[in-house]
């Protein structure tokens, strides 16, 4: 994501902003590392992410086009929901999802996943440009998420709780798409 943002800002005419953005991202990484997933409470972890995101969000918005300005808030909503998913489905992730993920060691499964991602990118006209609307962003992102969840649904039948995780994961990925952005 960092590379995508930098490339789009440069493409938008903000030549020379790369180092500033890289430093901003490094500062965010240091700030966000103050809290540890599963060590700190979900509330404290999320609060820290929100606080650490204020400056990067401003800086990123300053170099994106007006139409792209939704993107930092979209990302923050995505991160927020992924963190909530991680906390809320922690037991499922440990007991069912982690052992099931070994399916990707199978070359056919891994190849099928990569083919799905590639086909999805072609079908949705995905590019390295941040889309002008959240609707276009989601029309590209959600089918890519389905590549993973469809494989998990098909291959993880010995792990029944993975079905709940799949549903929760889809909801988490749909949430940023359902929000309004200025």
Categorize the per-residue pLDDT at 10 as very low, low, confident or very high, splitting at 50, 70 and 90. Answer: very high
Is a pLDDT exceeding 90 seen at residue 25?
yes
For residues 174 and 144, the answer to whether their CB atoms sit within 8 Å is no
The reported pLDDT for the residue numbered 182 is 82
Read off the pLDDT of residues 45-98 as tens digits, 9 standing for 90 and up.
999 999 999 999 999 999 999 999 999 999 999 999 999 999 999 999 999 999
Domain positions in the chain: 1-64, 70-182
CA 157 to chain centre: 26
Is a pLDDT exceeding 90 seen at residue 126?
no
pTM for this prediction: 0.92
Question: What is the arithmetic mean of pLDDT over 37-49?
Answer: 98
Categorize the per-residue pLDDT at 117 as very low, low, confident or very high, splitting at 50, 70 and 90. Answer: very high
Which CA distances in Å does 6 have to 27, 38, 59, 79, 143? 15, 31, 11, 19, 25
Q: Is 131 exposed, middle or buried (0-12, 13-18, 19+ CB in 10 A)?
A: buried
Question: Distance between terminal CA atoms of the chain?
Answer: 21
For residues 17 and 138, the answer to whether their CB atoms sit within 8 Å is no
Question: What is the arithmetic mean of pLDDT over 18-43?
Answer: 97
Read off the pLDDT of residues 44-59 as tens digits, 9 standing for 90 and up.
999 999 999 999 999 9
């Amino acid at each position: 994501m960092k590379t995508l943002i930098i490339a789009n800002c440069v493409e938008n005419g903000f030549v020379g902003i790369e180092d500033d953005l890289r430093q901003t991202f490094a500062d965010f990484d240091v700030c966000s590392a103050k809290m540890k997933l599963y060590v700190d409470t979900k509330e404290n972890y999320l609060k820290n992410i929100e606080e650490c995101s204020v400056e990067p969000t401003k800086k990123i918005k300053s170099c994106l086009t007006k139409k792209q300005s939704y993107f930092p808030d979209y990302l923050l909503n995505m991160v927020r929901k992924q963190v909530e998913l991680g906390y809320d489905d922690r037991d499922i992730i440990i007991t069912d999802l982690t052992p099931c993920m070994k399916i990707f060691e199978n070359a056919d499964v891994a190849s099928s996943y990569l083919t799905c991602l590639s086909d999805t990118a072609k079908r949705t006209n995905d590019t390295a440009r941040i889309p002008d609307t959240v609707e276009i962003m989601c029309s590209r992102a959600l089918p890519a998420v389905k590549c993973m969840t469809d494989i998990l649904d098909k291959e993880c039948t010995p792990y029944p709780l993975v079905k709940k995780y799949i549903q929760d994961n889809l909801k988490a990925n749909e949430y940023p798409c359902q929000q309004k952005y200025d």
